[in-house]
Amino acid sequence: MIEQEIITEEQKLAARYAKAMGHPIRMYILELLTKQACCYSGDLSEILPIAKSTLSQHLKELKDAGLIQGKIEAPKIKYCINRENWKKAKQLFKSHFNI
C-alpha cells in the first residue's frame, strides 16, 4: 500500500520510458529516428548487426513504451519517433532530475 501512496503516475511513466531505453541498441534506434523523419524496418536490419528477430524485439519494446510508432506499408513497417511521447519523456526526465 505504501508504494501506491508515494509513487506518482509521472514516476511510473518515466520508469517505463527509462526501461525501454535501457539497451544500447534501443538508444541507437531512438537517436537514428530523432535525426530523420522515419525509417523502414528493413533498413534498420541492414544497418544493425543483429538478427531480425532481435531487432523486432527492440522495436516492440520501444513501440510498447510509446516512444516510437510503426505503420505497416507492406511488406515493410515504417517506424518514426512518437514526437508527443518523446517530448513528454524529455520533460519527465528534466523535471525528475532537475536538469
Helix, strand, coil percent values for the chain (each to nearest 5): 65, 15, 20
DSSP label at residue 72: E
Q: Write the CB contacts of 64 (distance below 8 Å, at least 6 apart in sequence).
A: 20
- Looking at residue 96, its pLDDT comes to 80
Band (pLDDT 50/70/90 cuts) for residue 5 is confident
The predicted model scores a pTM of: 0.87
Residue extents of the structural domains in the chain: 8-97
- What does the pLDDT average to over 85-90? 94
* 30 and 21 Cβ atoms separated by less than 8 Å: yes
Classify domain 8-97 by CATH number.
Answer: 1.10.10.10
pLDDT digits (tens, 9 = 90+) for 20-62: 999 999 999 999 999 998 999 889 989 999 999 999 999 999 9
